[in-house]
Structure 1
Amino acid sequence: MVLGDNEVTQSVDASSRDRRVQVRRAALAGSIGTTIEWYDFFLYNTAAALVFPHLFFPESTGYAGALQSFATYAVGFAARPIGAALFGHWGDRLGRKATLIVTLLLMGLSSAVVGVLPGTESIGIAAPLILVLLRLVQGVAIGGEWSGSVLLAMEWGDQRRRGLLASFAQVGVPVGLVLGTGGMTLLSATLSPEAFDSWGWRIPFLLSLVLVGIGLVIRLRILETPMFAAVVAEKRTSKAPVKDAVRHHWREILLSAGLRFSEQMPFYLFTSYVLVYVVERPEFSKTFVLIAVLVGAAAELVLIPLFSQLSDRVGRKQIYLTGAVLTAVIAFPYFTALSHGGHVLIFFAVVVSLVTHAMQYGPQAALIGESFPTHLRYGGAGLGYQLASVFAGGPAPLLATWLLHETGTPYSISIYIVVSAAVTVGCVLALRDRSKADIDDLATYAR
């Protein structure tokens, strides 16, 4: 699906009215697309904590089963940079729109197959092997999805509102978390444990097909972004955009990955590992923890655009650094609450943990995206964003499970969070702030 001359002309020459319509469509396409992608992803996260250990690893002990389940979870993160490189190449060669349609189909179809996958007792070792393969496909799709969704709105809209517009794609994460976790919560609360473990958990995975159909309709109605269309019209596309991004912007790629440590790593502890940790206390049910995570995610629906809009006024780095520092501050009180608190305190801790995440995740899209020139932006931003998945997000629940087992104290995980925050602070301080710069001007990126 090559970007045609007609679409290039339409994008570049769009009137003010047409541009406003396309900005709204691009923001909707970005948010709904990432909603579907992350709905599928969080379904897997929740199932990995609650269902997969006994379904796909029935012979393992509770500890070993959790490790194996979270290991399949980590595999998807390892595949993300591959997806970022693969789709980053085509996103900077053919355009944002066509690439995003492919990522949407990959994610939705692989999730639907998870919903019909038999367990180990039915098909033996083939079950966990197929699960890992599907997780790899999910990771590749997510790797190519993020930067394209962010750039749709950011490259169509007013540059003075880049933080807010780019955050519409970020809002898809808590929406996906609300839908995915909400679906699991509803089924967990209404079905018997036997019915939920047997077939109930499969229903939300199969519903992915409905959401994919909605997402495709929306994405097919948008035009290519005017910034990229101008690159095509002026014949400035790179023949090897990912290679060029690594060669000329390796520093921005590494700093973008590093600045995500205090956002991504704790987030997967706050939304996935917490499901395992809290239910070890017999007085707390998995439904209670799921509801707490659900409320925190709902709060992010408001907070992500709020902090993003604030970053347009005062600068990305100021808001981001505040969120990173606060994440470190709550690291020890958080696990104190989970270990010794009652229902109210645990509920409060879970919600607050997602507030500090929103402070970083909202401005993050523009902070990373505006660090790269238009003709290398899809690949460069995607690589920077997804490299953190290998070192921060993917291993987080696995390492947390191991740390608790080896040290016997959850505060070893708190130290892990503080270290991640220190990495983030250093990388944010080293990254150039382009929140007020013209990202359509190549001179902005001159050394």
Structure 2
Amino acid sequence: MVQGRNEADRTLDAQHTQQPTQVRRAALAGAIGTTIEWYDFFLYNTAAALIFPHLFFPASSSYAGAMQSFATYAVGFAARPVGAAIFGRWGDRIGRKATLIVTLLAMGIASGLVGVLPGAATIGIAAPIVLVLLRLIQGIAIGGEWSGSVLLAMEWGDQRKRGLLGSFAQIGVPVGLVLGTGGMTLLSAMLSSDAFNSWGWRLPFLASLILVAVGLVIRLRILETPMFAKVVTERRTSSRPVADAIRHHWREILLSAGLRFSEQMPFYLYTSYVLVYVVARHHYSKTFVLNAVLIAALLELFLIPWFSHLSDRVGRKRIYLVGAVLTGVLAFPYFAALKDGGYVLIFVAIVVSMIPHAMQYGPQAALIGESFPTHLRYGGAGLGYQLASVFAGGPAPLLATWLLQETGTPFSIAAYVVVAAAVTVLCVVLIADRSRADITAEATYAR
């Protein structure tokens, strides 16, 4: 911890003289880091829908192949809380910066290896096994990435703008979606179907190694956050931060997970499962659906910071509740458009579905981060955020595939979305709104 205290002392010395520069670097580091993480993650999602069923599960039927492919997809989500616990411990003990460098390297290397992994036709059963292992590494890395990226900006910047500053890490999701989906869209349009399925899909995975190098350069130039530096110099770090977060803030962890249901679960249905439903069931082109998802992601680039800024003015919970209610209201119209709408309505439905998501995802970083004291914030916020992955994000495409097979109607999936929205509304009502609280003060978290 001596090295950590030296880093903390340098941070506190630079807090006033270098703060504007460090705030910009922290915001950029958060945005670029999560962009790389989510670029890799969305590449996998898209490939899981379009490529992996026949490459890694060629002996299965179309339905079984999709289920097996989405099962490997769900494995990454199940690993996220594990990553949040592992990296949460180090993020609250040695600092945000060092921990984030490790998560970035792990994610990038795993994604690069997916890009060179042979299929089942070449190495047999080893192919899906190695794919699952790499997916586990991806999930563990991203489980530790989010809270650190959010806290870099939140803990360095103006506390009256925590919502806006926290949203820079959230912007990484639509940017990663644009780069990942955009790369797949471009390649699927430029290459023949055989070329894309055999080697073209691998190129974006290999390109992630270049992005990792860029991210490392940026992260190595930032200092530890002033809030955590103060905790270190005052010797208030916890020896068991994750255990302490669970013991003293279990309610906030569970509510943080629950408030993500109507944001996360529909998002993965609308950006990943939609590829299977619209392309396989209704025979629209991959390029058409990928273009719609791409436009939706571009729209979120503007909506996420705007709604986050708005949450600094009127409160996080107010914006979040509107987004959750809209998610439930739009669920049945969305799937009606996919089922019977034609090109225009399907395109509009995919794009419009991102508006309520942005209303929740933008303010979400600050809403969750503010729920935990500084010395337990990395682990507590990470656990709350990533626990939703086990129950909401990960199983969503798998359950949607099963529901459609069993009921024969996409409206069963719409009902699933409405239930998720109801869970979120309840959790948002119950969680404390600390939009204007002093989150450096321990008294803020007294019961």
Distance 1:365 1:311 in 2: 11
Q: In the alignment, does 2:285 pair up with 1:296?
A: no
Distance 1:100 1:2 in 2: 19
Amino acid aligned to 1:296: A
> How big is the shift at 1:15?
4.8
The equivalent of 2:365 in structure 1 is: 365
1:181-196 correspondence runs (5 A): 181-196=181-196
> How big is the shift at 1:48?
0.1
> How big is the shift at 1:2?
6.9
1:54-69 correspondence runs (5 A): 54-69=54-69
Distance 1:5 1:281 in 2: 58
The equivalent of 2:385 in structure 1 is: 385
The equivalent of 1:140 in structure 2 is: 140
Distance 2:158 2:254 in 1: 28
> How big is the shift at 1:381?
0.1
The equivalent of 2:306 in structure 1 is: 306
Residue by residue, what CA displacement relative to the aligned partner does 1:229-273 show, whole Å, maximum 9, x if unpaired? 000000000000000000000000000000000000000000000
Q: Is the 8 A contact 1:78 1:390 kept in 2?
A: yes
> How big is the shift at 1:77?
0.4
Residue by residue, what CA displacement relative to the aligned partner does 1:275-313 show, whole Å, maximum 9, x if unpaired? 000113555101100000000000000000000000000
Q: Is the 8 A contact 2:4 2:232 kept in 1?
A: no
Identity rate of aligned residues, in percent? Answer: 79
Cα gap change, 1:120 to 1:169, in 2 (>3 Å): same
Amino acid aligned to 1:207: A
Distance 1:329 1:392 in 2: 18
Cα gap change, 1:283 to 1:140, in 2 (>3 Å): closer
Q: Is the 8 A contact 1:56 1:128 kept in 2?
A: yes
> How big is the shift at 1:16?
3.5
Q: Is the 8 A contact 1:85 1:242 kept in 2?
A: yes
Distance 2:290 2:261 in 1: 24
Q: Is the 8 A contact 1:3 1:95 kept in 2?
A: no
Distance 2:416 2:8 in 1: 48
Q: Is the 8 A contact 2:4 2:95 kept in 1?
A: no
Distance 1:195 1:232 in 2: 54
> Number of residue pairs matched?
447
Distance 1:3 1:374 in 2: 19
Q: Is the 8 A contact 1:2 1:94 kept in 2?
A: no
Distance 1:123 1:200 in 2: 20
Distance 1:57 1:122 in 2: 12
Q: Per the alignment, in what secondary structure is the counterpart of residue 409 of structure 2?
A: coil
> How big is the shift at 1:11?
1.4
Distance 1:198 1:245 in 2: 47
Distance 2:280 2:2 in 1: 53
Q: Per the alignment, in what secondary structure is the counterpart of residue 433 of structure 1?
A: coil
Q: After alignment, is 33-42 or 10-19 more displaced?
A: 10-19
Q: Per the alignment, in what secondary structure is the counterpart of residue 438 of structure 2?
A: coil
Distance 2:154 2:212 in 1: 23
Q: In the alignment, does 2:275 pair up with 1:267?
A: no
Q: Is the 8 A contact 1:80 1:140 kept in 2?
A: yes
Distance 1:372 1:220 in 2: 26
Q: What RMSD, in angstroms, separates the aligned Cα atoms of the two structures?
A: 0.9
Amino acid aligned to 1:136: L
Compute the TM-score of the two structures, normalised by the length of structure 1. Answer: 0.99
Distance 1:316 1:82 in 2: 28
> How big is the shift at 1:342?
1.4
1:99-178 correspondence runs (5 A): 99-178=99-178
Amino acid aligned to 1:218: I
> How big is the shift at 1:105?
0.2
Q: Is the 8 A contact 1:114 1:131 kept in 2?
A: yes
Distance 2:118 2:3 in 1: 41
Cα gap change, 1:165 to 1:61, in 2 (>3 Å): same
Distance 1:405 1:80 in 2: 28
Residue by residue, what CA displacement relative to the aligned partner does 1:72-103 show, whole Å, maximum 9, x if unpaired? 00000000000000000000000000000000
The equivalent of 1:207 in structure 2 is: 207
Compute the TM-score of the two structures, normalised by the length of structure 2. Answer: 0.99
Residue by residue, what CA displacement relative to the aligned partner does 1:103-147 show, whole Å, maximum 9, x if unpaired? 000000000000000000000000000000000000000000000
The equivalent of 1:31 in structure 2 is: 31
The equivalent of 1:89 in structure 2 is: 89
> How big is the shift at 1:12?
1.5
The equivalent of 2:355 in structure 1 is: 355
Q: Per the alignment, in what secondary structure is the counterpart of residue 16 of structure 1?
A: coil
Q: After alignment, is 223-232 or 8-17 more displaced?
A: 8-17
Q: Per the alignment, in what secondary structure is the counterpart of residue 427 of structure 2?
A: helix
Q: In the alignment, does 2:409 pair up with 1:442?
A: no
- Alignment gaps of 5+ in structure 2: none
> How big is the shift at 1:6?
3.5
Q: In the alignment, does 2:333 pair up with 1:338?
A: no
Distance 2:249 2:104 in 1: 28
After the TM superposition, which parts of structure 1 deviate over 6 Å for at least 4 consecutive aligned residues? none
> How big is the shift at 1:7?
2.3
Q: Is the 8 A contact 1:259 1:424 kept in 2?
A: yes
> How big is the shift at 1:356?
1.0
Cα gap change, 1:339 to 1:355, in 2 (>3 Å): same
Amino acid aligned to 1:401: T
> How big is the shift at 1:18?
0.7
The equivalent of 1:236 in structure 2 is: 236
Q: After alignment, is 341-350 or 47-56 more displaced?
A: 341-350
> How big is the shift at 1:213?
0.2
Q: Is the 8 A contact 1:12 1:229 kept in 2?
A: yes
Q: Per the alignment, in what secondary structure is the counterpart of residue 93 of structure 1?
A: coil
Q: Is the 8 A contact 2:367 2:435 kept in 1?
A: yes
The equivalent of 2:225 in structure 1 is: 225
Cα gap change, 1:124 to 1:15, in 2 (>3 Å): closer
Q: Per the alignment, in what secondary structure is the counterpart of residue 207 of structure 1?
A: helix
> How big is the shift at 1:3?
4.3
Q: After alignment, is 16-25 or 150-159 more displaced?
A: 16-25
Cα gap change, 1:131 to 1:185, in 2 (>3 Å): same
The equivalent of 2:316 in structure 1 is: 316
> How big is the shift at 1:9?
1.8
> How big is the shift at 1:169?
0.1
